[in-house]
Structure 1
Amino acid sequence: MTLKLDDKYIWDFWHFAENGEQHLFFLQADRAIGNPDLRHWNVSIGHAVSSDLRNWTALGTVFGPAASPAWDDYTTWTGSVIQAEGRYHLFYTGTCRAENGMRQRIGHATSDSVNGPWVRVGSGLALDLDEQYYEEYAAGRWHDRALRDPWVLPQKIDGVYHMFYTARRNDGPLYERGVVGHAVSPDLVHWKATAPVYDGGHYGQLEVPQIFERDGRWYCVFCNIADHWSEAMRAQHGGGVSGTHYLVADHPLGPWQPAPGFLDGALPCRRYAGKILRDPLTGKDCLMAFADTGADGQFGGYIVDPIPLRLEQGRYGIDDFLGEK
């Protein structure tokens, strides 16, 4: 009952609910490429719909790289979908061939329907890196310039829209630079980067942020791998794990701190890029993620069924533990 396509690898995804329908948008690549590590450079965005997050109807490819030359002519990666200002908005990550995919930027497309078609707003470029706050690419430091995985809240706060994204600050130890980047906009079109809402100190990067509120507290779900943990975090947690965890705060703009333990992690990584969603069958929160390394050591490349979660005293847990691993 998982969301699995026979001819495609599936990984990062984002969710939108409307009129009882659960929409997932996801990264996909043809399994014909053979090596799943090549999927990142052979990517498009797919779409599927369900009433229960378990039984899925695939709707095909809905977005992909622009024609060359363009700032997003190589890849279109993880993003988010919202409804606001009378339209549907797709925010996504893009890279270009001219830079060998090294520098990430954030794009924007709109539609009159959640089912598309999605049309870029102008060139599509919504946000580029601001070196005042964030780390620029430098050979030998990281494999990329991190400016990706935009998560946009559909309602204004203090008169502006807020975007959160994967980034790194431009100072400090390498594996403490991972931050949750922040930008604001009056209209979802014109964006300005600001200081990160989570200033790092624990990880080299926090991928695929998802920010939401439950019972008056705010949660920022993220994923990363053990190799990108700070020395202090590895020492505290037996060397670290790879998977999905979360930050907590009393306000979406922070201050944020990692929750104790680690929500869903393992070595090797079994599930990655998790999202916390409302299960339409139970009305309770659940975790969904893509299958990473299976028992056979092979990449899964599909999205698992909902995993029940417990929320007690502000902490999420799977089954009968509260996040400790």
Structure 2
Amino acid sequence: MTFAKNDHWVWDFWIADDGEAYHLYYLQAPKSLGHPELRHRNASIGHATSADLHTWRDHGTVLVHGGPSEPDASATWTGSVVRGDDGLWRMFYTGSRFLRPDAITNIETICVAVSRDLHTWHKSADFALNADPRGYETLDDSVWHEEAWRDPWVFQSASGSWHMVITARGRSGPDERNRGVIGYARSDDLENWSVGTALTGSAGFAHLEVPQIVGLSGSDWLLFSCDGSHLAGPRAGLPGGIWLAPAASPLGPFDLDQASLLADEHLYSGRIVHNRSGRPVLLAFENLSGTGDFVGRISDPRDVEWNGHGFVLAPELQERQAVK
């Protein structure tokens, strides 16, 4: 069944697998706010567990926003969880700090929290990773409404080094709507990070949200989300949703020109997880209803299949989406 909360909207999420249980970390905001757009500046992080990706046990809130001077002063946003060589689990998440109550202007910073058991988390107060203005657009450029530096996806390479891909914006592009890039940082120990050059150029996206590097049928792919209102250049006016682009390696190059939709905007913020049978499945949050209203719950897993030309969702899902 889907994961939902009666009194909260649920949207972006990420999953950690300890070998016995899947740990779901999700963004939540109270429906008492009235309008779903207000959820972004009121987000906290919740936690649930499952043995099969279908039935979930909710454990409540694990992280909330920080104090006025902290990088997550307004809200805690999307991230990922990895287990370090020291045995500790680390949650790299986005701290959001809105500058004014009457505007969407905000600065995004990558923060970290640490856990021994995936249940109790402690923020690391001395860690903050920001966009490097030498290679990435910042709020000081006065081009975009936010300093985009969010949704960190962290993974370890075969050599033992750690890599982070990030939703970011480049300092140049065909126009202000066409600057979305995959940002990059590297670490040897999960504590000290160096920001590197972007792994992609501009390719018709104002942002590439919730990126994930995933292996499918022996090849590497970049999974990300971009809604239709943030498509640019030759993509402007086309449908948006969850995208999949081929990659030469986990660090690219990524062929964004060949990016194709895996799901339309009824679903968003997709994550591909391999179930206990080893099959790749997609989970996403249910975004828009058939009437265009925000839904705010997490879908059941849906099989991801190769149709001879590319990866698609299982046919029964595509039929179900069409009648929503």
TM-score by length of 1: 0.90
| Counterparts of 2:52 and 2:218, CA distance in 1 | 26
Q: SS state of the match for residue 234, structure 2?
A: helix
Superposition pairs of residues 82-121 of structure 1, within 5 angstroms: 82-85=82-85, 86-97=87-98, 102-115=106-119, 117-121=120-124
| Counterparts of 2:57 and 2:211, CA distance in 1 | 26
| Counterparts of 1:165 and 1:59, CA distance in 2 | 28
CA displacement at 1:202 relative to structure 2: 2.5
Distance 1:187 1:302, change over 3 A: same
Q: SS state of the match for residue 123, structure 1?
A: coil
| Counterparts of 1:175 and 1:160, CA distance in 2 | 33
Question: CA deviation digits over 1:139-165, x for unaligned, max 9?
Answer: 863221110000000x24555210100
Distance 1:320 1:106, change over 3 A: same
Which residue of the other structure, out of 284, 289, 292, is the alignment partner of 2:287? 292
What 5-or-longer segments of structure 2 have no aligned partner?
A: none
CA displacement at 1:97 relative to structure 2: 4.8
In the other structure, the counterpart of 1:74 is: 74
Structure 2 residue 198 is the aligned partner of structure 1 residue 200 = no
The two structures, once aligned, show a CA RMSD in angstroms of 2.2
In the other structure, the counterpart of 2:182 is: 180
Which residue of the other structure, out of 125, 148, 151, is the alignment partner of 1:149? 151
Question: CA deviation digits over 1:50-104, x for unaligned, max 9?
Answer: 1111111100000111123212211110000011122000000012355766111
In the other structure, the counterpart of 1:319 is: 314
Q: SS state of the match for residue 28, structure 1?
A: strand
Q: SS state of the match for residue 12, structure 1?
A: strand
| Counterparts of 1:19 and 1:105, CA distance in 2 | 30
Distance 1:228 1:13, change over 3 A: same
CA contact (8 A) 1:217 1:314 kept: no
CA contact (8 A) 1:16 1:24 kept: yes
Question: CA deviation digits over 1:226-260, x for unaligned, max 9?
Answer: 122222124xxxx3112101121121111101345
Deviates more, 1:244-253 or 1:25-34: 244-253
Structure 2 residue 257 is the aligned partner of structure 1 residue 255 = no
Superposition pairs of residues 47-58 of structure 1, within 5 angstroms: 47-58=47-58
| Counterparts of 1:277 and 1:304, CA distance in 2 | 13
| Counterparts of 1:254 and 1:208, CA distance in 2 | 17
| Counterparts of 1:313 and 1:108, CA distance in 2 | 41
Q: Give the share of equivalent positions with the same residue, in percent.
A: 34
| Counterparts of 1:171 and 1:298, CA distance in 2 | 34
TM-score by length of 2: 0.90
How many residues in Structure 1 have an aligned counterpart in Structure 2?
312
| Counterparts of 1:93 and 1:257, CA distance in 2 | 26
What 5-or-longer segments of structure 1 have no aligned partner?
A: none
| Counterparts of 2:239 and 2:250, CA distance in 1 | 26
Amino acid at match of 2:139: Y
In the other structure, the counterpart of 2:232 is: 230
| Counterparts of 1:284 and 1:167, CA distance in 2 | 30
Deviates more, 1:75-84 or 1:62-71: 62-71
CA contact (8 A) 1:216 1:250 kept: no
In the other structure, the counterpart of 2:125 is: 122
In the other structure, the counterpart of 2:272 is: 276
CA displacement at 1:134 relative to structure 2: 0.6
| Counterparts of 1:216 and 1:286, CA distance in 2 | 16
CA displacement at 1:211 relative to structure 2: 0.8
| Counterparts of 2:217 and 2:57, CA distance in 1 | 32
Deviates more, 1:34-43 or 1:196-205: 196-205
Question: CA deviation digits over 1:264-303, x for unaligned, max 9?
Answer: 11xxx311111111233x5311111111111243211100
